[in-house]
Each structure stands twice: as C-alpha cells, then as structure tokens.
Chain A
Amino acid sequence: NAGVTQTPKFQVLKTGQSMTLQCAQDMNHEYMSWYRQDPGMGLRLIHYSVGAGITDQGEVPNGYNVSRSTTEDFPLRLLSAAPSQTSVYFCASSSYTTDKRNYGYTFGSGTRLTVV
C-alpha cells in the first residue's frame, strides 16, 4: 500500500518556467489537497478537491492551478514560477466525511522546489 506518492522529490526551476507537481493516492480517498510549507508559517492550503471533477481554492491559490480528472490523481501546476514559490509542497488525502468524523490526513513525502 503506497499511500500518497509525490513526484519529483526535488526540483529547481528558473523564473518564468512552468511545471507540474504530481500527486497520486491508492486509498480511494475522495478528499485531496495541496499545502505549501514555509519556515515559521506552518502549512498553508493552496487548492483542494472533494472528488473527481471538483476543485476549489484554498488560502494561497494565486500562481497555481489544479485539476482532478480521476479519484487517484491531483496534479498541481505552477504556471510561471516565481522566487516566492520556493517552498516545500505537500499533497494530502483523506476520506470525505459528512458527519465531521475525520481520522486524519495521509501526507506525501513532499516536493522541495527552488525557483531561481
């Protein structure tokens, strides 16, 4: 059981380049999300999805796009990379709850992105 798989683990981009961070889960989780982690700021939500075909913005969505064509995959696209997007990016998933009972997210191991 692989859980949540993120690729690549490390990436260096030049300002203005675009790229896609991949995230895949094999737990049939409906809910998937992308966070960025910056020192002293904790985890900030970029985008999330409650199921295939449905996405929504989080706290810091500018400069990022997402799509959810399958339950398993939730890629994050950087449209035109900027140095401010240097960060560690985490994908997470969980079952979708309608009764507020959530037993926790499963996280990927992260992608460390540097934009120069």
Chain B
Amino acid sequence: GEDVEQSLFLSVREGDSSVINCTYTDSSSTYLYWYKQEPGAGLQLLTYIFSNMDMKQDQRLTVLLNKKDKHLSLRIADTQTGDSAIYFCAETGDTGNQFYFGTGTSLTVIP
C-alpha cells in the first residue's frame, strides 16, 4: 500500500513557527490533506491542497507541496498552546476514496 511518513514528535515555543513534514509515495493523489487531532477527540480536517498547487495559505497555516520530492509540509505561524495536538498527513491514492494516513506528529507548544 501507499506509505506516508512523518516524524513522531515536535516541540516549539509559544509564538514561534512550527513546521511539520510529511513524505508520501503515491504520486497519483489529486489532493493531500492535513488533519488535527486534539487529546481525546477525533480527527478534524485542517486543510488540503490540490496536487497541481505548490502552496496554499489559510490564515496562520501554510501548506507547501513539492511533487518532485513527494514532500508535504504544514507551517503554523505564531504557534499557540491551543495548537498542541497530533497532526496527520494523508493522501488518497489513485481512486480518491481511500485515505492513507501518516503516523501523526505530536506537536507540543511550550509556554
């Protein structure tokens, strides 16, 4: 199956920028996604990027896509304690229906 890889942990200080990285193997995905999971909760869709885009910005969030290297990143500007959560990268493979998730990156924001 498709492989989606992320580092497991990231720590940043409040007010700094966070960058969460992801690599994937299936180049046929039309969209790539970032989900956020707060403690004890389900996953919420944060943002997604169409595969023919290089960048998408949404308030404090910036998504960068490098299709050649199959690398996706999520930058959170001015990181707040409420951003502490697990962030999952996902892609949908060749049909667009089945999602493949990374292991998740646990972001800890230090006050």
Contact = CB atoms under 8 A, between A and B. Distances in A.
Interface of A: 4, 31, 33, 35, 40-43, 45, 48, 50, 59, 90, 92, 94, 96-97, 99-110
A114 B29 CA distance: 35
Contacts of B42: 4, 90, 107-110
A101 B31 contact: yes
B101 interface: yes
B104 A50 contact: no
23 contacts: A31-B97, A40-B103, A42-B4, A42-B102, A42-B104, A43-B43, A50-B97, A59-B1, A90-B42, A97-B95, A97-B96, A100-B29, A100-B31, A100-B92, A100-B95, A101-B31, A102-B97, A103-B31, A104-B35, A104-B45, A107-B43, A109-B42, A110-B42
A42 B97 CA distance: 18
A48 B95 CA distance: 14
A16 B73 CA distance: 43
Q: Which of the four size classes fits the interface of chain B?
A: 20 to 34
A45 B92 CA distance: 13
B8 A105 contact: no
A40 B8 contact: yes
Interface of B: 1, 4, 8, 28-31, 33, 35, 41-45, 48, 88, 92, 94-99, 101-104
Contacts of B104: 42
B89 to A, nearest CB: 9
A31 to B, nearest CB: 5
Contacts of B43: 43, 90, 92, 105, 107
B103 A102 contact: no
Nearest to A56: B98
Contacts of B31: 100-104
A101 B94 CA distance: 11
Nearest to A3: B42
Contacts of A102: 30-31, 92, 96-97
